[in-house]
Amino acid sequence: MTREEERILSGEQGWANQTCMKILVRLGELFGAEKLIPITSAHVSGISYKTLGDAPIEYLKAMADANAEVKVKTTLNPQSLDPEYLIRKLPIELRNKQLKILKQFDRMGMTESLTCTPYYLGKLRRGSHMAWAESSAVVYANSVLGAWTNREGGPSALAAAIIGKTPDYGIHKAENRQPNCLVHVKTDLRNETEYGALGIHLGRLLRDKIPIIQGLQKDNDRLKQLSAAIATTGMTNMFKAGSTTERKKTETVEIESNDLKRTIEELNTASNKKPDLVFIGCPHCSYAEMEKTAQLVKGKKVKQGIELWVCTSCHVKEAATDAVKQIEKSGGHVLAGVCTVVSWTEKLGIRTIMTNSAKTAYYAPTLSKADATLASMEECLKTALQG
Ligand code: F3S
pLDDT along the chain (387 residues), means of 10: 97 98 98 98 97 94 98 98 96 96 97 96 96 98 98 97 98 95 95 98 94 94 98 96 71 94 97 91 98 98 97 98 98 98 96 98 97 98 94
Q: Evaluate whether 362 touches 233 at the Cβ level (below 8 Å).
A: yes
Q: How far is the CA of 47 from the centre of ligand 1 (A)?
A: 12
Q: Among the atoms of ligand 1, which is closest to the Cα of residue 311?
A: 6
How many whole angstroms separate alpha carbon 294 and alpha carbon 298? 6
283 lines ligand 1 (CB under 6 A): yes
How many whole angstroms separate alpha carbon 230 and alpha carbon 228? 6
Q: Among the atoms of ligand 1, which is closest to the Cα of residue 78?
A: 4
How many whole angstroms separate alpha carbon 183 and alpha carbon 214? 6
For position 243, what pLDDT does the model report?
Answer: 74
Q: Evaluate whether 43 touches 120 at the Cβ level (below 8 Å).
A: no
268-386 has which CATH code? 3.30.499.10
Nearest CA to ligand 1 atom 3: 282
What CATH number does domain 3-174 carry, 3.30.70, 3.50.50, 1.10.10, 3.30.499?
3.30.499
Task: State pLDDT tens for residues 223-276.
Answer: 999 999 999 999 999 999 987 666 666 789 999 999 999 999 999 999 877 999
Q: Among the atoms of ligand 1, which is closest to the Cα of residue 357?
A: 3
50 lines ligand 1 (CB under 6 A): no
Q: Do the first three CATH levels of 3-174 and 268-386 match, i.e. the same topology?
A: yes
What CATH number does domain 178-266 carry, 3.40.1060.10, 3.30.70.250, 2.60.40.2130, 3.20.20.140?
3.40.1060.10
